[in-house]
């Protein structure tokens, strides 16, 4: 996996047991994200992008937390390589699990006006990919649009709000229970109202949650979800799957 050096912003590649401690970012994508190729250029045009500010903040916060490395999906995956993209998506749940901390950036919520726009109304809670990014990491720290800290997923008040909003039991969010302790139908229900830009990602974003690996075939449409179900069936006799 590729990681960003939080001090230099250089990107390096690590393998196996050589992967160092790292922070990881969870966010909703915008129109001005920075790719691997762009971040390596470090041009003035690139550094002016909104997406670049996410990189800068993640690295700055990581250093404040005494973590030298960071992972961000926009610029740590070479999306021009279909092979690398497939490997990354199949590994992503594990990468979030292995992180030291996950920074969840809510670009549409501000602490200075919580009465007009509630924390739980953030788009972050509606996206397909952020489900695994909430469950897998050992700790999730939330930040608002101004990068002010809202709190972390273990804070009792915040935990209750997150659980009520997502339907995910607090025991799972606190890592007192593993996702595998819940039925297939229950885990599927956590994703039921979430959305993604590409229909195939409805399935691909759930692979880690169900311990499934399969090749990515963008263009297959709803067939992706059928393949996901087929792979789940190979590993479980939980008949609640058929509810979906």
- Other Cβ atoms less than 10 A from the Cβ of 238: the count is 15
Assign residue 199 a region (left: φ > 0; alpha: ψ between -120 and 50; beta: otherwise): alpha
Nearest Cα residue to 152 out of 112, 98, 100: 100
The CA distance from 202 to 228, in Å, is 10
CA distance to 29, 39, 51, 93, 122, per residue, from 106 (Å): 11, 22, 13, 20, 7
The CA distance from 107 to 17, in Å, is 34
Q: What is the pLDDT along the chain (244 residues), one digit of tens a residue?
A: 999 999 999 999 999 889 999 999 999 998 899 999 999 887 888 889 999 999 999 999 999 999 999 999 999 999 999 999 999 999 999 999 999 999 999 999 999 876 667 999 999 999 999 999 999 999 999 999 999 999 999 999 899 999 999 999 999 999 999 999 999 999 999 999 999 999 999 999 999 999 999 999 999 999 999 999 999 999 888 777 777 6
The CA distance from 209 to 219, in Å, is 23
The CA distance from 113 to 243, in Å, is 40
pTM above 0.75, yes or no: yes
The residues, ordered by sequence, that sit 6+ positions from 7 with a Cβ below 8 Å of its Cβ are 59, 63, 68
Strand-strand pairing, 101-105 and 149-152: unpaired
The CA distance from 43 to 49, in Å, is 10
Average pLDDT, the chain: 93
The CA distance from 227 to 240, in Å, is 17
pLDDT given for residue 41 in this prediction: 83
CB-based contact 110:146 (threshold 8 Å) = yes
């Amino acid at each position: 996996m590729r990681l960003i050096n939080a001090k230099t912003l250089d990107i390096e590649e690590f393998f196996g047991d050589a992967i160092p401690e790292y922070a990881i970012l969870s966010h909703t994508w915008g129109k001005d994200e920075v790719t691997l190729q762009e971040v390596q250029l470090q041009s003035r045009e690139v550094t002016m992008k909104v997406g670049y500010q996410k990189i800068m903040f993640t690295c700055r916060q990581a250093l404040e937390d005494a973590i030298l490395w960071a992972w961000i999906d926009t610029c740590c995956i070479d999306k021009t390589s279909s092979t690398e993209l497939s490997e990354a998506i199949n590994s992503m749940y594990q990468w979030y699990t292995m992180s030291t901390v996950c920074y969840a950036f809510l670009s549409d919520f501000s602490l200075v006006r919580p009465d007009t726009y509630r924390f739980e109304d953030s788009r972050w809670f509606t996206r397909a990919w952020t489900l695994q990014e909430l469950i897998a990491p050992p700790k999730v720290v939330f930040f608002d649009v101004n990068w002010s800290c809202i709190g972390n997923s273990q804070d009792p008040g915040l935990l209750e709000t997150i659980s009520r909003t997502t339907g995910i039991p607090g025991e799972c969010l606190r890592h007192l229970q593993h996702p595998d302790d819940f039925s297939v139908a229950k885990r599927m229900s956590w994703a039921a109202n979430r959305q993604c830009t590409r229909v195939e990602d409805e399935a691909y974003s759930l692979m880690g949650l169900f311990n499934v690996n399969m090749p990515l075939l963008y263009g297959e449409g709803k067939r992706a979800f059928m393949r996901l179900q087929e792979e789940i069936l190979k590993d479980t006799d939980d008949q609640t799957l058929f509810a979906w």
